[in-house]
Amino acid sequence: MNAPPTTLSGADLGVALAAALRAVHGADGVVDTWSEHPLSKRGKHRVVRYDVQARMPGGAEVQHHQWVGKFYERDGDACGVATTLRELTASRCGARGGFVVPRVLAYHAPRRLLLLSYEPGESVVKAIAADGAHVLAAMGRALAALHAAPVTLASVTGPAAVLADLQGRIVELCSRFPAEAASLQRWRDRLQREAAPPPAAPSFLHGDLGLVQLRWQAGTIVFLDFDDCTRGDPALDLGNLLTQLRRLTLRKPEKLPDFAAARATILDAYRRSSPDAPGLAQRVAWYEQIALARKIHSLTFDRTRHPEAEAIQRRQAEAIDLLASAR
């Protein structure tokens, strides 16, 4: 079946925005005008911000709203994300843990458009550069609260699935860097030997946690992009996030000059906000290595995000630097 178009006619969009207005205010408000602005060039789905001007029945004053529209190829994916966000909101774990997530406003099924609240905030990278320790500690506390959320998910991601994905990536890297093949194979073998069993009770995981999915909102962490949520070892999310910070220290050391200190700050805040988790440190270190291998692979082979020749060369040079740092 063909995917639905990722744009809406004026009539379709008016219907979707009016439904969101009713969901927010519980009345038959009237949408006067709106404008559409691309919000993100990353990720699997097109994301748009809608600036909406509306009037409520009997009111002359124009109300201004900002909403996020995200287009999906499959109805089940959109509904799954909506369910996750609703359960997170209902659990109130964000209020206890210092984080917020977008609220679900409406779903326009004909075009598989999920409308969410727009959560403003600045880049966490910018915030870290201004007040590193404070922001990093808040990230650790917020992630601990997110992992404790009572969200219902069927999918579970364990070490076996992670290693299976890694296997093909290492094979491709060996082909691309034949001089490093022996080192890469030893790295893969060591990760296979050192894989630790997951916790007995899987936690809710973001599943694709990186700096681009985080915002800093006046002292509060905003989590975005819940398309890859799963259950499993909290060390998976931590490993992904820490590897992103490690890469930041290499690319922009002026924003985060000391990775070891940043890592310690996040993990200390996470532990203080979580139940005791024996073996967490070892599992986090293992998932960091997995995330590093995945990042090296994507930098080497992904030519879709920045297809310009100069950008490809920069990404491949960064992959070589990361590969050297992994030894």
pLDDT along the chain (327 residues), means of 10: 50 78 75 83 75 78 88 93 95 86 90 91 94 95 95 92 94 93 94 89 94 94 96 97 93 92 97 91 96 93 74 84 77
The radius of gyration of the chain from alpha carbons, rounded to an integer in Å, stands at 21
For position 8, what pLDDT does the model report? 58
Q: Which residue is listed with tokens 């709106």? A: 34
For position 5, what pLDDT does the model report? 46
Evaluate if pTM is beyond 0.75.
Answer: yes
For position 61, what pLDDT does the model report? 78
For position 278, what pLDDT does the model report? 87
Name the DSSP class of 169. Answer: H
Q: Which residues of 130-166 are buried (b: 16+ CB within 10 A; e: fewer)?
A: eebeebbbbbbbbbbbbbbbebebeeebbbeebeeeb
For position 88, what pLDDT does the model report? 94
Alpha-carbon dihedral sign for residues 206, 224, 266, 258: positive
- 223 neighbors 248 (Cβ within 8 angstroms): no
What letter represents residue 265's amino acid? T
**Residue 67 host element (H or E):** strand 63-71
For position 28, what pLDDT does the model report? 72
